Chains A and B, each alone.
Chain A
Amino acid sequence: MTPEFSADAAVPPKSWWWALVALAAAALAGAPYFGDEAFQLDISIIFVFALLALSMGFLWGYAGILSFGQTIFFGLGGYSYAILALNLSATNLPFLGALVIPALFATLLGYFMIYGRISDIYLSVITLVVTLIFEKSIRSTSGPEYVIGAVRLNGQNGIPGVPALTLPWLSEPLSISGVFYLAGGAMLAAYVGLRLLLTTRFGRVLVGIRENEKRMELLGYDTRLYRLAAFVLAGAVAALSGVLYALWGNFVAPEMFNLNQAAQVVIWVIVGGRSTLIGPIVGAGVVQYLSNWLGTVNVGQVTLVLGFVLMVFVQLFSRGVLPSIGDAFERLRRKGKSYGRAP
């Protein structure tokens, strides 16, 4: 019987891990010199989605909270940035604001759900319902009376012309390779940050709560505070991803809150597996690459494929596709060894 969650408490990373991170950073820095702008755009959006998958994988795999609503914070981040940047005609403050507003909303929502001690499955459904209602509310704002500051919300059509970010130490707005560096850097930093966070006391307590909340509570930990902190942290990471999405495409639309979007995040994490942090990143990359490829080979309704993939994967690979494949290889290797040893 495979346990439902197989992520172990993280151990401090070994030196080869640091070498790989350095290699990834070097590859990131060098990539724009080898690929044209179309290539950079394609890769940037994969970084953005990988960041979103990372936020969910962290929350689901390590804190045991299955939130269908990472797209709430993704969309809220994008919309906050768009509205603030268009109103203030500055970009650095809106960038920060677009992380703070979703984090505050996550605190509020998380407080009611986690301090109310509603069961995990209720939490999943509530986050899904909040996503649905967010999308519906935004879609209903097409009339001219829905204005925040000087910005019309535009309902279905979203807000176009989101200004590019101008970093405080640069004089010009970010170009395509600037966004590429920002998205890649943010993803790498979030991965390294979360990976190191899990080796601290906080991370270990979080995994302990996932395994047995009552026991951790009896040991004197305020489990609800830890869970809330994880929820808000994941919300902020998702919001960062949403801001980067707005910067990448220069627009925000209600589709960011879409159920299809939410389903995609779940699929990325299931494909990559939730027992590591690198899994969701790889999952997002692989699935996004495949769906770009499927997009060129017309397959009809996207939801049809998404739903089918979700149903099949839950039945066959409940631990995640990559870990399941890894297990299969491990079994084969052991089998081979025992054959070798057999007299």
Chain B
Amino acid sequence: MTTIYLIVYSIALLAMVSLGLAVIFGMMRVINLAHGEFMMLGGYACVFCVRSGAPLWLGYIAAAIAVGLFGVLVERVLIRHLYGRIVDTLLATWGLSLFLVGLVTSLFGPQAWSIPTEFGNVSFGGMNFSSYNFILIAISIGMVLVTWAIARFTVAGLIVRGTMQDPVVASALGVNRDLTYMATFGYGAALAGLAGAVLVPITGASPSVGLFFVSKAFINVIVGGHLPLLGTILASTLFGAIDGFVSYILSSVVGEVTVLIVAVILLRLLPRGITGRMRTGL
């Protein structure tokens, strides 16, 4: 029972931290190495809101909006000039990642900022679980569902999917490609910010908090392949299960190493990721 709970929890956690990265990668073929730092910024935004007296859910929304706007800014200033130069986007976002860590360390100091939480524990089958973890699982499922619904049922989602399939045809049909890319990057950043904010009651906000999750998120997105949503869900299920199981038996570092080894072997077999053979989908 505990094992199942832990596995579900680590799948949800993994899906949450990699969704924003997957949206940006699936749409723009840009691997945003500053993803962890976007999460970190979301965490700080949430902490500031809660400390100034706002309730926690308002902190989530504020974090998503703030980091989303920051993402738009980054896209305009940094990424826009580098489309088609994949390696340079990688280097530029890496530079951004280091820059943000340095900036936040010199502004707020290296120590973790935490917020008090009044979430109790739930007893379940003789074990105590933090009830916040259930909220986290619910939010993770909600994020995936909302992203799916936007992509599947709205006009904006249709435009984004069309641009994803063929940017040239889409812009010939009158779609403003720049605006689409800008909005997608902003949405992906907002998801990262939200993930960071949701994690803050557990991890606290510190400059290096992004590093805890990014390596798993990168692995997840690469193994997931070119379909952002389905790839993320499948890869999170696989790696979340492995990670949750191994971390439970041994330690979290061993869990991470196991995930890496499985991922590298899997990429030998399926070089284009789990969804590499699927032609269409989300």
Contact = CB atoms under 8 A, between A and B. Distances in A.
Interface of A: 4, 66, 68, 109, 112-113, 115-122, 124-126, 128-130, 132-133, 136-137, 140, 259-260, 263, 266, 270, 300-312, 314-315, 318
Given A129-B219, A133-B215, A308-B95, A66 B102 contact: no
A133 B264 contact: no
Given A136-B253, A137-B257, A260 B215 contact: no
A234 to B, nearest CB: 17
B264 A300 contact: no
A304 B78 contact: no
Interface in B31-79: 31, 33, 78
Interface of B: 31, 33, 78, 81-82, 85-88, 90-92, 94-103, 105-106, 211, 214-215, 218-219, 222, 251, 253, 256-257, 260, 263-265, 267-269, 271
A132 B219 CA distance: 12
Contact of B95 (A122, A314, A318): A314
Contacts of A128: 33, 218
A118 B102 contact: no
Contacts of B98: 259-260, 263, 303-304, 306-307, 310
A111 to B, nearest CB: 8
Contacts of A260: 98
A133 B96 CA distance: 21
B14 to A, nearest CB: 14
B78 A121 contact: no
Contact of B211 (A109, A132, A302): A132
A66 B87 contact: yes
Given A112-B265, A128-B218, A129-B215, A315 B102 contact: no
A260 to B, nearest CB: 7
A5 to B, nearest CB: 10
Contact of B99 (A129, A140, A308): A308
22 contacts: A112-B268, A116-B268, A116-B269, A117-B271, A118-B222, A125-B31, A125-B33, A125-B90, A126-B263, A130-B260, A132-B211, A259-B211, A266-B94, A301-B102, A303-B99, A304-B102, A307-B94, A308-B95, A310-B98, A311-B78, A311-B92, A315-B82
Contact of B85 (A122, A263, A318): A318
B183 to A, nearest CB: 23
Contact of B92 (A136, A263, A300, A315): A315
Which 3 residue pairs across A and B have the least CB separation, nearest first? A304-B102, A307-B99, A310-B95
A62 to B, nearest CB: 15
Given A120-B86, A137-B253, A305-B102, 13 more contacts: A4-B87, A129-B219, A136-B215, A260-B98, A300-B106, A301-B106, A302-B102, A303-B99, A306-B95, A307-B95, A310-B95, A311-B96, A311-B99
